[in-house]
Structure 1
Amino acid sequence: MLPALRLYLAGPEVFRPDAAAEGARLKAICAAAGAEGLFPLHEEGVDIRQACIDMIDAADALVANITPFRGVHMDPGTAFEIGYAEARGKPVFLWSADPRPLTERIPPVDSGRDGEGHLVEDWGKPENLMIVPDGRAVGASAQQAVAEAVAALDVAVKNRVLQRRTRHAVLLAIAVSLAAALFAGTLADWLIGW
């Protein structure tokens, strides 16, 4: 039996009034896809930042909700988690309930700039290009992002199992070889002394 792929579920869901229920729903989506969802809802008194970092370290990948939160951009904590996961070499899979490109959320008023004169990114992406680099898909739902993660990482999980089985087989072969050598040495000593 293969170990379940572990997916850290990043996003602003932890701020919802029904955070525990939403976390259970997201974990159920992961379970239905054959993965284990790690939802970062922590109790008071816990170092939340460190607990989230520890959960990301324990995960195989990160699935992040980048839907705009409290404005036109995603939750900044989720942006940190994406950056941390990438720095640790973890694959990142994204979803957003608002797929509109930034230029539709922040309509430029003059020469591609907003009302304050700042340039509006016009890459056709639903978030900053540091979050959605070229080639990274953004699913329309958590189900899509989880399915993409499971499909992409299924081979990695199988490789991890194969590596573990290979290590066990090598250790067993070494143990059998040592036992055979000890037996042969003992037999030779007995025959010589007989």
Structure 2
Amino acid sequence: MKIYLAGPDVFLPDALARAEAARQLLAGHGHRALIPLDNSETTAAGIYRANIALIADADAVIANLNPFRGFEPDSGTAFEVGYALALGKTVVGYVADDRPQADKLADHLGAPLARVDGRLLDAQQNAVENFALPLNLMLAIPCRIIRGGLEEALQVLGGR
């Protein structure tokens, strides 16, 4: 399979080494990694078009959905997941912490969430999803979300 690897890994200081390790891991399982860093584009529009083309060419997507620069997954990764799903691709996402989102948010805020009229609210009185899912339902329902990393996601994808 050709597997697109979505995630904020491209922004990390060791992005090239991570990409090479991912490429070797997938090759060891008989798959080909499609990695955003593989294109030579340097403009925002060029990178967007190249990544869209890689997703369209992929048989499946594995996405790093760990929090990045905040409490939620990287917004570009979330877009890539949605785009892949719209194309009918299988998506497996991985997270290090698969506890329910409401529990993680309470820990992140350092205070329990309020319960008012059966709804959970954060400190700003905003409603908090309470479906016992590890991510927002728009990611957790259509994707297979697993606890672990790339290797665990690859194992799940291989056994889909």
TM-score by length of 2: 0.85
Check if 1:14 corresponds to 2:18.
Answer: no
- Secondary structure at 1:125's aligned position in 2? coil
1:63 maps to amino acid? I
Q: 1:124 aligns with which of 132, 139, 142?
A: 132
Write out per-residue CA displacement over residues 132-182 of structure 1, whole angstroms, 9 at most, x where no aligned residue.
Answer: 107834241111111121222xxxxxxxxxxxxxxxxxxxxxxxxxxxxxx
- CA root-mean-square deviation: 1.7
- Whole-Å Cα distance in 1 between the matches of residues 71 and 99 of structure 2? 10
Q: Which runs of 4+ in 1 moved over 3 A?
A: none
Q: Is the 8 A contact 1:40 1:52 kept in 2?
A: yes
- Secondary structure at 1:130's aligned position in 2? helix
- Whole-Å Cα distance in 2 between the matches of residues 57 and 141 of structure 1? 23
- Whole-Å Cα distance in 1 between the matches of residues 99 and 69 of structure 2? 16
1:62 CA displacement: 0.5
- Whole-Å Cα distance in 2 between the matches of residues 106 and 127 of structure 1? 10
1:44 CA displacement: 5.1
Structure 1 residues 88 and 134, CA, compared in 2 at 3 Å: closer, same or farther?
Answer: closer
Q: Is the 8 A contact 2:93 2:143 kept in 1?
A: no
Structure 1 residues 135 and 25, CA, compared in 2 at 3 Å: closer, same or farther?
Answer: closer
- Secondary structure at 2:36's aligned position in 1? coil
1:151 maps to amino acid? G
Greater helix proportion: 1
Q: Is the 8 A contact 2:9 2:15 kept in 1?
A: yes
- Secondary structure at 1:72's aligned position in 2? coil
Identity across matched positions, percent: 39
The answer to which of 106-115 and 135-144 deviates more is 135-144
Write out per-residue CA displacement over residues 42-93 of structure 1, whole angstroms, 9 at most, x where no aligned residue.
Answer: 4452411111000001110100010111111100000000000011111111
2:65 maps to amino acid? I
- Whole-Å Cα distance in 1 between the matches of residues 27 and 13 of structure 2? 23
Greater strand proportion: 2
Structure 1: runs of 5 or more not aligned: 153-194
TM-score by length of 1: 0.71
Count of aligned pairs: 148
1:10 maps to amino acid? A
Structure 1 residues 135 and 67, CA, compared in 2 at 3 Å: closer, same or farther?
Answer: closer
Structure 1 residues 12 and 133, CA, compared in 2 at 3 Å: closer, same or farther?
Answer: same
- Secondary structure at 1:116's aligned position in 2? coil
- Whole-Å Cα distance in 1 between the matches of residues 53 and 101 of structure 2? 32
Check if 1:140 corresponds to 2:137.
Answer: no
Other-structure match for 2:114: 110
Structure 1 residues 82 and 32, CA, compared in 2 at 3 Å: closer, same or farther?
Answer: same
- Whole-Å Cα distance in 1 between the matches of residues 150 and 15 of structure 2? 15
